[in-house]
Amino acid sequence: MSPRRIPVDSTVIAPRPGATRRLHLHAAGVSVVLDVTDGRIPAIAHWGAELGELGPAGLDAVCEAAVDPVPHNAVDVPVRSGLLPQQSDGWIGRPGLSGSRPDGSGWVPRLVTGGIELDGHPLSRAHTETGAATVRFALADEEQGLEVDLEVQLLPTGLLRLRAALTNTGATPYALDELTLALPVPAEAEELLDFAGRWTRERTPQRRDFTVGTHLRENRRGRTGADAAHVLHAGQTGFGFRDGEVWGVHTAFSGNHRHLAEQISTGHRVLGGGELLLPGEVRIDPGAQYRGPWLYASYGEGLDAVASRFHRHLRAREHHVDRRRPVTLNVWEAVYFDHDLARLTDLADRAAALGVERYVLDDGWFGSRRDDSSGLGDWVVSREVWPDGLGPLIDHVTERSMEFGLWVEPEMVSEDSEVARAHPEWILGPSPAALPLESRHQQVLNLTIPEAFAHVRDQMMALLDEYDIGSLKWDHNRDLLEAATRSTGRAAMHEQTLAAYRLMDELRAAHPGLEIESCSSGGARVDLAVLERTDRVWVSDCIDPLERQQMNRWTAQLIPLELMGSHIASGRSHTTGRLHTLSFRAHSALFGHLGIEWDLAEASEEELAELRAWIDLYRERRELLFRGDLVRADRGESPLWLQGVISPERDEALFSLSAVGRTATSQDAHLRFPGLDPSATYRLRPLLIGERPSNLIPPPWLERALEEDGLALPGAVLVRSGLTAPLLDPEQGLLFSLVRETDPAPVP
């Protein structure tokens, strides 16, 4: 549904010389100052730390102080980097709006502001200060027949988001090439951080200087991508988790998209993002509208503060998940395609005895799907493998107080399938005679074709209607190449993404309470748009605990721990071949939505007892993990990573110390526990489950804490001076519980 349009001919504010409208929005330690001068396109004069109540004079001063001098050999007015940058404002960088009419006109719009609303009411005052609010600007170029509804929201968490909708008011179609929003950042933002990666190595951080030119991250995979930018940050040189001003943006779209950081020769710097449109993909007919995705923007002192705004926003949603995230068993690495009722019910019995609360049947239950080469698109239970249907297994699972979950891949199709043989025209491809290269032996079903959409929806609905299915593991195992409707050759990626959203929405509307996991060959569809429809993401197909240390650490830069699937795998990693102790596997999985990906029939009694202890710890601490604030210690190049979750009241915390490599010297830097209350006293207790970490050499304080009931330590010591780090072998870990004490204790 298109957003309501603000009348462009509104008399609330008319573009005339001298007319100004200046707004100050502030919430949760963030201020955003918006400036509309002479009806020009809105610009941000300040996005950053809280400014306090400014008053009209102060608000004018902030806006005027943001205006640059006019250099020689430049346009004769100060250059403006508006929220939708355009050449008519002197902007010589990437334009925010790009497109054209059939005759070639319309490619240089001159948008002006013709109406402003604040929280749904016309804005008439020249100066306005308020808290969290929604501002909508009606922009228009009457000569070119273009209108833009620009929506800017400062949320109660201090998170900023904006989006734009373009309406064609002209007499001919408008071919849209790009609609990219941009936010200015100050000259102090000298360094960039975003992410790269690949399958089984998602969210790999990369840094570079913020120099003249464009750092452009375009994703053309048809899904968010294992190598997506994730969050694009700009900050003060050397910024870390706890220090340095940082500005970050995230494009909330699950198809082709872009992030960019651009500095032009005048010194202006912006961060931006939007959907990446393929040639001819969006043609806006007269009277029609295109609405772009939300661009989220987070500011804070350090990366933890930036992440915290995203986390608090997600947790504030009405449909956010319950904190009692169920311990999950997924059977993929236990049975793969070998589905046998006796074996699967035995796994269910073993799981229930451990305290598992959700049981997920993975790939191989439908059609001709005995391996990964056929059957996708035929979402009917295989009578060959399941002669009595899935009912016997589901009944067995639910009778043991576990929820049943099922793996599906609704957007994909095998060429060797009943549906592909009956309807080859339903497969995305460049022409009737050609198909894209196969990937993982599969193609993509064109959900923009109503009959293809109905086929998938109705088969999914039939499963959910017949069986007691509480969750779907929704996979998406290939990139989209040559994603066009075969009969026309026209690009279909934009509409395919919207159709996937619509499919999820319809299934959830018909089955309230259904949870969906975004599993896209691991972590290739992780973004805030898909998370409006899903309840967790599968961080990676790699469950190697050493690799997961990095991937979980940086996935959490956008989403909180309860939305991150984090499983304990078998001793030998399926994707890397490494061997790890159960202690380190569980240690790495604990900070997330805990699960198991292991053939429990192969576990020893000692392993099962230890696994049960880890599950008990998770169930005991998940309320803290999923309501508390994530903190990550800045430790330079140290391979000892320290992170924790602290309750909002700062009276309880759980910290993890992980050795991801060997230290360069025999003694590492002190451990400082960020985020605790320096004025409080905490009892620190090491938590050892299973075998003692290999070659652990504890310093005296840790030796005492292990022998006694922990240590009572002043918060100032923990936060500021720190504790001597223990010596640990690589790929080992320690947990520390901290609880505030009422009575102070002396420094030992």
In which band, very low, low, confident or very high, does the pLDDT at 243 lie, cut at 50, 70 and 90? Answer: very high
Task: Read off the pLDDT of residues 693-721 as tens digits, 9 standing for 90 and up.
Answer: 999 999 999 999 999 999 999 999 999 99
Q: If you average pLDDT over every residue of the chain, what do you get?
A: 95
576 and 658 in one domain? Answer: no
pLDDT value at residue 14 = 40
> Which member of 541, 544, 629, 634 is catalytic?
541
528 and 597 in one domain? Answer: yes
643 and 606 in one domain? Answer: no
366 and 246 in one domain? Answer: no
Q: Is residue 372 part of a domain?
A: yes
What is the average pLDDT across 15-35?
85
Last residue of a domain, one of 315, 340, 373: 315
Q: Is residue 599 part of a domain?
A: yes
Is the pLDDT at 20 greater than 60? The verdict is yes
Q: How far apart are CA 442 and CA 13, in angstroms?
A: 55
511 and 554 in one domain? Answer: yes
Q: Is residue 92 part of a domain?
A: yes
| CATH assignment of the domain containing 686 | 2.60.40.1180
Q: Is residue 686 part of a domain?
A: yes
pLDDT value at residue 4 = 54
293 and 332 in one domain? Answer: no
Q: Is residue 431 part of a domain?
A: no
Using CA atoms of 428, 429, 435, 440 in order, give the dihedral in degrees to the nearest 10. -40
pLDDT value at residue 550 = 98
In which band, very low, low, confident or very high, does the pLDDT at 10 lie, cut at 50, 70 and 90? Answer: very low
| CATH assignment of the domain containing 396 | 3.20.20.70
Q: How many CB atoms are located within 10 Å of the residue 52 CB?
A: 11
pLDDT value at residue 268 = 94
pLDDT value at residue 81 = 87
In which band, very low, low, confident or very high, does the pLDDT at 12 lie, cut at 50, 70 and 90? Answer: very low
Is the pLDDT at 648 greater than 60? The verdict is yes
pLDDT value at residue 743 = 53
User: How many structural domains comprise the chain?
Assistant: 3
Question: What burial letters (b/e) apply to 133-151, b meaning 16+ CB within 10 Å?
Answer: bebbbbbbbeebbbbbbbb
370 and 286 in one domain? Answer: no
Task: Read off the pLDDT of residues 304-336 as tens digits, 9 standing for 90 and up.
Answer: 999 999 999 999 999 999 999 999 999 999 999
341 and 209 in one domain? Answer: no
Residue 677: domain span: 630-741
- Asked whether the beta carbons of 464 and 507 are under 8 A apart, the reply is yes
604 and 474 in one domain? Answer: yes
HSE, side-chain direction, 13 A CA sphere, residue 510: 15
Q: Which helix (H) or strand (E) holds 311?
A: helix 303-315
Q: Is residue 163 part of a domain?
A: yes
In which band, very low, low, confident or very high, does the pLDDT at 368 lie, cut at 50, 70 and 90? Answer: very high
Task: Read off the pLDDT of residues 153-173 as tens digits, 9 standing for 90 and up.
Answer: 999 999 999 999 999 999 999
Q: Which of 373-387, 421-435, 600-614, 729-743 has the lowest mean pLDDT?
A: 729-743
| CATH assignment of the domain containing 44 | 2.70.98.60
pLDDT value at residue 9 = 42
Last residue of a domain, one of 579, 609, 624: 624
In which band, very low, low, confident or very high, does the pLDDT at 17 lie, cut at 50, 70 and 90? Answer: very low
636 and 602 in one domain? Answer: no
Indicate the pairing of strand 146-154 with strand 133-141. antiparallel
In which band, very low, low, confident or very high, does the pLDDT at 746 lie, cut at 50, 70 and 90? Answer: low
pLDDT value at residue 667 = 74
Active site residue 541: yes
Q: Which helix (H) or strand (E) holds 353?
A: helix 341-354
Q: Is residue 366 part of a domain?
A: yes
CA distances from 101 to 107, 163, 170 (A): 8, 23, 9
Task: Read off the pLDDT of residues 564-591 as tens digits, 9 standing for 90 and up.
Answer: 999 999 999 989 999 999 999 999 999 9
Task: Read off the pLDDT of residues 78-115 as tens digits, 9 standing for 90 and up.
Answer: 888 899 999 999 999 999 999 999 999 999 999 999 99
Measured in whole angstroms, how far is the alpha carbon of residue 54 from the centre of its chain? 34
Phi-psi region for residue 456, left (φ > 0), alpha (ψ -120 to 50) or beta? Answer: alpha
267 and 124 in one domain? Answer: yes
What is the average pLDDT across 284-307?
98
In which band, very low, low, confident or very high, does the pLDDT at 665 lie, cut at 50, 70 and 90? Answer: confident
**What pTM, to 2 d.p., does this model score?**
0.96
> Which member of 89, 194, 475, 527 is catalytic?
475
Q: Is residue 427 part of a domain?
A: no
Is the pLDDT at 297 greater than 50? The verdict is yes
pLDDT value at residue 6 = 56
In which band, very low, low, confident or very high, does the pLDDT at 742 lie, cut at 50, 70 and 90? Answer: confident
What is the average pLDDT across 513-534?
97
What is the average pLDDT across 674-685?
98
Active site residue 616: no
Is the pLDDT at 260 greater than 80? The verdict is yes
pLDDT value at residue 7 = 52
618 and 476 in one domain? Answer: yes
Question: What burial letters (b/e) apply to 652-672, b meaning 16+ CB within 10 Å?
Answer: bbbbbbbbbeebeeeebbebb
Is the pLDDT at 18 greater than 50? The verdict is no
pLDDT value at residue 2 = 45
Last residue of a domain, one of 579, 597, 624: 624
Percentage of the chain exceeding pLDDT 90: 92
